[in-house]
Each structure stands twice: as structure tokens, then as C-alpha cells.
Structure 1
């Protein structure tokens, strides 16, 4: 590289800041005009609440996980969470910058890679709390977390084949994919993630026009699957029995519920919670209860409203969408995101059996935070829209032409 490539100020001249190339500036301006800025605002606000919540929960988890050889500082998980959030924001923005067609192809390849890693988990994965779900790549990576958003894109792509050839068995093909994933998840075991994959798939096939008769058959198959899990899966049976039989004073879910309601409407005050110090996984699975104790039930309500705002904003964005793939992909992504959030909240409220799921964008997490930011990045990318183009009503022939043109 020659000296002409550098700007060297002469004596008496001020320093000239390096400028972005014009094409990159133009790309960023287009991105800012096309993304859903309200959706991005709600996500950033939720992440800010999550940062505050992890700061509140960090002392409890740090004390619980400290050993005689190593004492973790009170804010250990808080500072780690901030670092993961910064990396997650880079992933979120970077993903949302990709064009739809390139993003779709790349995500399909990424899904294949995650499926391969999911297959390897029982052989090379390591165990945490009785479940083998993680593979170590310098840090613990849970392939199923990254597979979730990629799964929504792949299923949307498969179901959109129906526009090209209505005779293609797209429901059966996508159902076979779900079946393979569920079998691999149950080998870990990970019943909660399996339920989330099945639920998301049901949402997407119903939007794709699945007849009511087949929906009833699928619901019946789902009930039969849950009965089989209860009969042959000890972890599921114990959690379901505890849920319907009533928890004891020492159960995690009961302790979480007492922590949640311990602060009343306005909370006991930041860092003044006492029940959280006895709560396992205060910074991950039960962070919603920590919010309730220290910040109050009113802040819990705000968190719920933020999740609802994100879901409704995506659905509003899809009202005028005229591409089947985009409708299915965005619906699947928001079903995954919202489904995991409300399962976690219902567990904390003792309205659902414990599943070991984190609260998206709020709970502390390494790879899970990156995966959730990847999900939001995909949502922002598939819902990008030129604000100067008027939406067109959905038409089957036009949708076919557009799908062929992608």
C-alpha cells in the first residue's frame, strides 16, 4: 500500500477523519429507511430492561456459583452480559443488512450446519444440569438455539413451494423435518425446545392454508406425543406431576413465584431483594421473578407489554405484505420469539411446568443472546420495505412470479 492511500495532515492543518465509502453510506441510508424502526426501538428497550435485570440478579448467581477456590464478584454476570449484548447487537445489525434472497440462501445453509451439530451433540456434547445440549467451541454453543430461527426460514421456504406446484407435499416434507429435529432434541433431552419447534411449525402450516381436518389430526398427534413423553420420559413426567400435584415449599417454581410476588407492585428496591439469593438460575430461567421482587409487578407488566408490542408490530407489518415466503418466515420467527418468552413467564407464574427456557433478550446468556439477536436480525431483514412503494394486495399469480424471481 502506497503512502498515497493515507491522509497525513500538513503542519497547521487539522486531522481529517476517515470517511466511509459512498456505496456503504448509501447502503446504510437505504437500510435505515427500509427497516421497521419501531420494532428496533422495542427490541433495544427490552434489551435495556434485560441489562438492568441481569445487574439485579448477578449477585445471587455469583454467590451461588462461587467456590472455596474462586469467589465471583457480585457483577460478574452483569459485565459478561454487557459484552454478549454488544456482540449480539453487531450480529443483529449485520444480519438485517443482508438482502432477502441472499439471506434466505445463507440461512438455509446455516440450518444444515446446525442440524449436523445437533446430530453430534449426544456424542461430543457436554452435560449441564443433567442435559447434554452444548458443544464447546471455546465457549459453550447450543446448536438448537441457533437452529430455531434458521428452522423458521427453511420451513417458510418449503411451504412457499406450494405456489410453484400445488401438488407438492410441502406439509409432509416440512413435517418430516420437524420430526427429525424433535427426535434429536429428545435424545439430549430437551422437551421444551421440541414443543417450541412443533408449535412454530403448526402456526406456519396453518398460515399456509392447512385444512381444518388436518389441523385436528395434528393436534391429536401432538396430544399423543405428550402422553408418550409423559410415559417414557422421566424428566417430563416428574415436572408434569409436580405441576398438577402442587409444588412443595422447596420447588424451584414455587420459590420463583414467591420471589416474583415478594416485592409487590413497586418492588423491594434495586439490590434489596432477599428471596432471589435462594433462587437457582436467577440470572437466566427465573430472571422474571427477580424483576418482580426488586423492580415490582408494574415493571413485569411493562416487560410483557414490550413482548406484545414486538409481536403486534411484526403482525401489523405483515398486513400489507404480498409475498407468501415473507409472511410465513416473519410469522415463524415471531412465534419462536414470543412463544419462548411467554413459556418462561408462565413458568415463573406457576401456570406452566418448568422447561428450563431463558427469557429472550432479558436473561443472561452467551450463545443464547447471540441466537436471539440473530432471530431479530432476520425479522428486521425479512420485513424490510421500501417506504416509497405502495403495498399490493396478495394475489396468487403475482406471488408465484415474485417467488420465481427471487
Structure 2
């Protein structure tokens, strides 16, 4: 019997028939994928997407009414139908990307980084302006290049930092810092302080895991504080949002409206489509969907969603604990930082614990390119964390990174 993906020999030697591919190829690939993929992580992601569908259903009437006030009339469930379509496309893409092996996922991430960095260069010149920010390109649909650049950025930085294994003298920190500075400059031209902070968080986590010295970490933190201070003084949008946050806001501020909506439902909520405060909340289906969940389904449901995010982060990190490939370890950590960081920035904004950033809630908020981008990120994470359960690991992964400084100190004392 021929192996999977091989060619079956023609019967009756000398018959001259062309060899035929066996039909086991895709079935065998699917079996290998199912054996190696993190099924728990995949289940948690699909659970969160299902909760997101219900949340968009709750927010859709408010979003449609807000659009109607601007002279555009759509069905109450227009956004729900669109969201289901984007989610279906996102799931197909996510599963497709997760079938890639680790090297192919790395190449795809690097290509995504290069392609969307180029598009990010175009945004200040040909981008579309919405709500005072120029972040989108129009290709028949609105595309926000920074959303797709995030996973490519994590993959690219992980790849560069993994070069340390080949040569300890390579200036990898200089390379990744220069890339971070370039992207931060392009984002602040839009301006997009929230995305800049998220990219900075991914960069910081990766250089920290790559073994940067304490002195350099202190310098990096100081550099970040200088950058935020400069943003406050030189960017009006950033200064307005920070001042509004520090001043406590007013009843007309988006963040204050979001907090009031979030708390209006109490512990158990007012019920699906029974919330009233959401009707006056701008971007109820995107930036402030967490508040809509609080009003209609209660604070208990909000707590459940936070727990699911924590479970996704914890499940992915547990997968990396004994990872013996430095690139996979750094890339997985960077992608998890992206998902977790974006989720909790959005939640903190809704709780009025962070200035408004115009950032969606991953896997839950309505969105076209944002939904596809998050699913692309999860697909890369699933691909990079795939592993044969029958192979033993040669090192202790994350444990090694945290134990390395202790071992070095012991050797110096000895």
C-alpha cells in the first residue's frame, strides 16, 4: 500500500499507465493537523467568536440607528448579517493558516509584514479619513493596514531576535528597535496612539524574553515614557483624550457614556434588545461593545468574557512553557501579547480606566478587516504552536528564559 501523498504504482508491469495520486493526501493532512493543533485553544477562540455574534446582535440596532442619524438607512440587523459573513470568512482563513507548518507560517508572517508595512506608508497620502483620523485604505472595502501588520510585526521581530542563536554579536536589539521606531512614526502620522502603544507592548515583551539586560530594559522604559510625553505635547488628539481621562470626563464623553452603559444592566443585565443606554453610545458595535454586553447581559457575562480571554492567554503560554525553538517561543509570545493586549486595553477603556483608543475587542467586535486580521493572527498562533504529542522536548522553553539569569548569577558567585 502506498503512503499518504505518494503515487500508487500501475498494476500489471509495463502497462504504461500514468501513476495516480492516492486519495489519502488531504485526509492524512487533516489527521496530522488534528493531532498536532492545540484543540483547547481552538475551542476557546470559537467560543469567544460565538459570544461575539450574540454581542453584535445586541449592538446592531444601536449601530443602525447611529448610521440613520447620518442620513444612511439600513436594516436593524445589517451589521449582524455582515458580521456573520466576516466571521465565516475569518474562520476559513484561520483554519487554512493553521494547516501551515512552522517554517511556512514564518514566511507568511514576514511577507505580511513587508506587504502591510508598504501599505502603511501609503496611508498618509491616499488613506481615507474617518472621525479625524486617516487610518484606512479603500479597495472596495475599508482596509486598515495596521491591523494586519500586527501579527507580521510579531513574527518579524521574533525571527530577527532568534538570530542570536547563530551569532551573539549581531545587533538584533538595534534592528528591532529601528523597526519599532519606524512603525511608531507612521502610526502617529495618522494619528493612532492606541496602536502605537500596542506595537510597543509587543516589542517590549519580545526583547524582554530575548534576554536583554536589566540596564537596557530600564533605558527602554525611559524611552517609552519620553515618547508618550512627546505624544501628549505634540498631538492634539492624544492630549485631548488623556486630559479627558485624567479630568474624569463629562456626561457627553464617549468613555463616560460607555461606563454608564456598562453598569446600567447590573449583575444580570436588562435582557437581549432591552437595553436603552446603548442607543446613545457611539461605536456600540465596535469600540464599546463590551459596554453593550454589560447593559444587556450583565456584569457576570462581562466577567465570563474576561475569563475566556485569560484562558486563551494561559492556554497559549502553557503551550510555550516547554517549547525548544526560540523563534516559535518568541513568535507565540508576541502573538499572545497582541491578542491579550488589545483585549484588555479595550476593556479598560470601557471601564474608564484607560484613555479612549479607538481599538476593537478581538473576536467579539464587529469588523471586516479587523475580524479577518484577528483570525489571521490566531491562525498563525495555532500553526506556530502545533507539535507532535509523541515527541519529547529537549529544553524547558519559557522556564529556561526565567532560569537563565539565576544560573548566571550562581556561576558568577561560584
Structure 2 length as normaliser, TM-score? 0.90
**Residue 70 and residue 192 in structure 1: after superposition, are their counterparts in 2 closer, same or farther (change >3 A)?**
closer
In the alignment, structure 2 segments of 5+ residues that lack a partner are: 1-21, 398-414
Q: How many residues align?
A: 378
In the alignment, structure 1 segments of 5+ residues that lack a partner are: 1-19, 396-406
Shift of 1:70: 4.2
1:296 aligns to what SS in structure 2? helix
CA separation in 2, counterparts of 1:47 and 1:69?
31
Q: CA RMSD in A?
A: 1.5
| Matched ranges for 1:263-302 at <5 A | 263-302=265-304
Write out per-residue CA displacement over residues 75-119 of structure 1, whole angstroms, 9 at most, x where no aligned residue. 110010000000000110011011111221122122111110000
Shift of 1:69: 5.8
Matched residue, 2:109: 107
Write out per-residue CA displacement over residues 2-21 of structure 1, whole angstroms, 9 at most, x where no aligned residue. xxxxxxxxxxxxxxxxxx93
CA separation in 2, counterparts of 1:75 and 1:224?
45
**Are residue 255 (structure 1) and residue 262 (structure 2) matched?**
no
Q: Is the 8 A contact 2:288 2:350 kept in 1?
A: yes
Matched residue, 1:53: 55
CA separation in 2, counterparts of 1:110 and 1:280?
32
Shift of 1:166: 0.1
CA separation in 2, counterparts of 1:201 and 1:252?
29
Matched residue, 1:125: 127
Q: Is the 8 A contact 2:321 2:396 kept in 1?
A: no
2:136 aligns to what SS in structure 1? strand
Matched residue, 1:402: none
Q: Return structure 1 stretches of 4+ with deviation > 3 angstroms.
A: 67-70
| Matched ranges for 1:6-405 at <5 A | 21-66=23-68, 70-394=72-396
Write out per-residue CA displacement over residues 325-372 of structure 1, whole angstroms, 9 at most, x where no aligned residue. 011000000001100000000000000000000000000000000000
CA separation in 1, counterparts of 2:113 and 2:74?
36
2:135 aligns to what SS in structure 1? strand
**Residue 391 and residue 47 in structure 1: after superposition, are their counterparts in 2 closer, same or farther (change >3 A)?**
same
Write out per-residue CA displacement over residues 38-64 of structure 1, whole angstroms, 9 at most, x where no aligned residue. 000000000000000000000001011
CA separation in 1, counterparts of 2:135 and 2:215?
36
Write out per-residue CA displacement over residues 122-175 of structure 1, whole angstroms, 9 at most, x where no aligned residue. 111111111111111111100000000010000000000000000001011000
CA separation in 2, counterparts of 1:21 and 1:262?
57
